[in-house]
Amino acid sequence: EAGVTQFPSHSVIEKGQTVTLRCDPISGHDNLYWYRRVMGKEIKFLLHFVKESKQDESGMPNNRFLAERTGGTYSTLKVQPAELEDSGVYFCASSQSYGTSGRRKNIQYFGAGTRLSVL
Amino acid sequence: AQTVTQSQPEMSVQEAETVTLSCTYDTSESDYYLFWYKQPPSRQMILVIRQEAYKQQNATENRFSVNFQKAAKSFSLKISDSQLGDAAMYFCAYSNAGGTSYGKLTFGQGTILTVHP
């Protein structure tokens, strides 16, 4: 079974440009999450999709960030325009909604991340 | 808001020995999950172990076990018989079990574990 796939693995752009990150979750996983880790700081939650709907977008830093998940499959995270402070590693994760007990297990499987460098 | 604190930026252990990584958290919720994730140098995070707050029994997964102290809000990870492949950054994480933010993982700062042969 394929894991969570992210690409590109590394992106270098100039301030003011646009970058789009892509995440392909594990097949059948309804939940998809975006996180990021900026240099020297802890990993921070950005948002959570359930299928194509945004369940929780409380972590999105500002309106320069736009996440989409059309059709409830892969997701994209666009940064427009990029700023220097957006540099960091962006992680995507996915999970099933419910375990066999009916209780949310919230076991998230992570991708390898996209390292974004804004110059 | 929930917080997770890992007070040990770095730890080291000799191969075959035991090491304990510390984690404390703060929450007003009664039902939640706690996790330890491992991130080897290749960068992909892997779930090591998971604890449900309503279960008093400490979770174990082979050489990995936790000491979950709910009243003290402490969740430490014990690695027994350490192996070279255990070298990684370890993250402690928290999530609510319900509510609109049930999917959100709150992470600690991470602990870099070095294993010496």
For each of chain B's 117 residues, which pLDDT tens digit applies?
A: 889 999 999 999 999 999 999 999 999 998 899 999 999 987 789 999 999 999 889 999 999 999 999 999 999 999 999 999 999 999 999 999 887 788 899 999 999 999 999
Dist CA B76 CA B65 (whole Å): 8
A31 touches chain B (CB under 8 A): yes
pLDDT at A99: 54
Cβ contact B107–A44 (<8 Å): yes
**A26 interface with B at CB cutoff 8 Å:** no
B112 touches chain A (CB under 8 A): no
Residue with tokens 């035991």: B18
The gap from C-alpha B64 to its chain's centroid, in whole angstroms, comes to: 10
pLDDT for A94 equals 95
CA angle, A8 as apex, A20 and A24 as ends, to 5°? Answer: 80
Q: Which of B110, B104, B103 is nearest to B37 (CA)?
A: B110
Quote the pLDDT of residue B20. 98
The string of pLDDT tens digits covering residues A88-103 is 999 999 998 765 555 6
CA distance B49 to B65: 8
Contacts of B61 in chain A (CB under 8 A): none
Q: Report the pLDDT value the prediction gives residue A87, as an integer from 0 to 100.
A: 96
Q: State whether residue B104 sits within 8 Å of chain A by CB.
A: yes
Output the pLDDT for position A102. 55
The tokens of B2 are what? 């929930």
Distances (CA, A) of B40 to A114, B60, B97: 16, 20, 27
Tens-digit pLDDT profile for residues A8-23: 999 999 999 999 999 9
Q: How far apart are CA A118 and CA A21, in angstroms?
A: 14
* Cβ–Cβ below 8 Å for A104 and B102: yes
Asked if A110 and B37 come within 8 Å (Cβ–Cβ), the reply is yes
* pLDDT score recorded for residue B94: 96
Which of left, alpha, beta for B114 (phi over 0: left; psi -120 to 50: alpha)? beta
Q: What does pLDDT average to over chain A?
A: 92
CB contact under 8 A, A110 and B102: no
Instruction: Report phi then psi at A92, rounded to 5.
Output: -120, 150
Distance, C-alpha B109 to centroid of its chain: 11
Q: Is A89 on the interface with B (CB under 8 A)?
A: yes
Is A56 in the B-facing interface, judged by CB distances under 8 Å? Answer: yes
Question: What residue of B is the nearest CA neighbor of A54?
Answer: B100
Q: Model confidence over A29-81: pLDDT tens digits?
A: 999 999 999 987 899 999 999 999 999 999 999 999 999 998 889 999 999 99
Cβ distance of B43 and A113 shorter than 8 Å: yes
Strands A88-95 and A109-110: antiparallel
**Between chains, do A107 and B98 touch, taking CB under 8 Å as contact?**
no
